[in-house]
């Protein structure tokens, strides 16, 4: 080894950086130099000795140890830096995930509240419109009623936004004939109640008074489907209600 170094004339400057590559390597170099010279190693003069040392100053048997110590320290430093970077990345990912989860929960809560408020507002409006609607008893009883008269009563007995849905069902069920009878099933009246006698809960004149039939049909649609429009949606899907 000495012959090779002498032949190539390796300068002290060219190898100084490697000999003092890390704090651990510096300490190791200083210790090895002291031992090689037959002197006891001391912490106080180790770093100073290492600062002027080169690979050429160290016995051949110790050079591998110096190189190994330096490379090991560099590897440890790189591993520590990688661990710190990984930890920071994991913490940032966890923070972002937590923020996204919190935002999703808030959005879901806001949406649920908005829907609840809208439903409550709709129910309140519907209840108000029902209370303001005329009852079957508000109309003068006649011996017969035209389609126009029957439709006029229906308009006055329900919310304006529900009439068209109610009318669609009556169009299909009876064509606004309050005396319509289904010969096979026995269903009767504007809304084809089955049996027709069920409409007696709305009034004893259910066979002859369209207002009584409208009252019963409206109550049925509200109770079972929430509204005439709810009943019409079901009718469109099933062709009965």
Is the distance from CB of 191 to CB of 169 less than 8 angstroms? Answer: yes
Structural domain boundaries in the chain: 2-76, 134-238
101, 107, 108, 111 alpha-carbon torsion, rounded to 10°? 180
The CATH number of 134-238, from 2.60.40, 1.10.530, 1.10.287, 1.10.3470, is 1.10.530
Tokens 């690979």 correspond to 55
d(CA 210, CA 180): 11
H or E segment and range at residue 28: helix 23-36
pTM for the model stands at 0.49
* Mean of the per-residue pLDDT values of the chain: 78
Neighbours of 73 (CB within 10 A): 18
**pLDDT score of 136:** 87
* Residue 179 pLDDT class (50, 70, 90 cuts): very high
Residue range 63-117, pLDDT digits in tens: 666 667 777 888 888 888 888 888 888 988 888 888 888 888 888 888 888 777 7
- Give the three-state DSSP class for 206: coil
Bridge partner list, 188: 181, 193
- Give which of 2, 70, 78, 75 is closest to 32, Cα–Cα: 70
Query: Distance between CA 117 and CA 120 in Å, rounded?
Result: 5
């Amino acid at each position: 080894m000495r012959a090779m170094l002498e032949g190539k004339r390796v300068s002290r400057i060219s190898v100084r950086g490697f000999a003092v590559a890390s704090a651990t390597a510096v300490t190791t170099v200083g210790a090895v130099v002291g031992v090689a010279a037959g002197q006891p190693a001391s912490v106080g003069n180790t770093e100073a000795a290492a600062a002027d040392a080169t690979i050429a100053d160290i016995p051949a048997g110790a050079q591998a140890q110096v190189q190994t110590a330096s490379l090991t320290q560099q590897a440890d430093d790189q591993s520590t830096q990688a661990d710190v970077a990984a930890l920071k990345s994991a913490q940032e990912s966890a923070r972002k995930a937590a923020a996204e989860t919190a935002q999703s929960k808030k959005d879901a809560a806001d949406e649920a509240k908005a829907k609840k408020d809208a439903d409550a507002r709709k129910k309140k409006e519907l209840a108000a419109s029902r209370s303001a609607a005329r009852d079957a008893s508000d109309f003068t009883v006649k011996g017969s009623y035209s389609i126009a008269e029957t439709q006029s009563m229906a308009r006055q007995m329900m919310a304006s936004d529900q009439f068209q849905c109610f009318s669609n069902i009556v169009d299909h069920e009876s064509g606004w004939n309050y005396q319509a009878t289904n010969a096979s099933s026995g269903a009767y009246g504007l809304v084809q109640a089955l049996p027709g006698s069920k409409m007696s809960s709305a009034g004893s004149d259910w066979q002859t008074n369209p207002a009584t039939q409208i009252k019963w049909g409206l109550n049925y649609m509200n109770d079972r489907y929430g509204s005439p429009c709810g009943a019409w949606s079901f009718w469109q899907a099933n062709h009965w209600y």
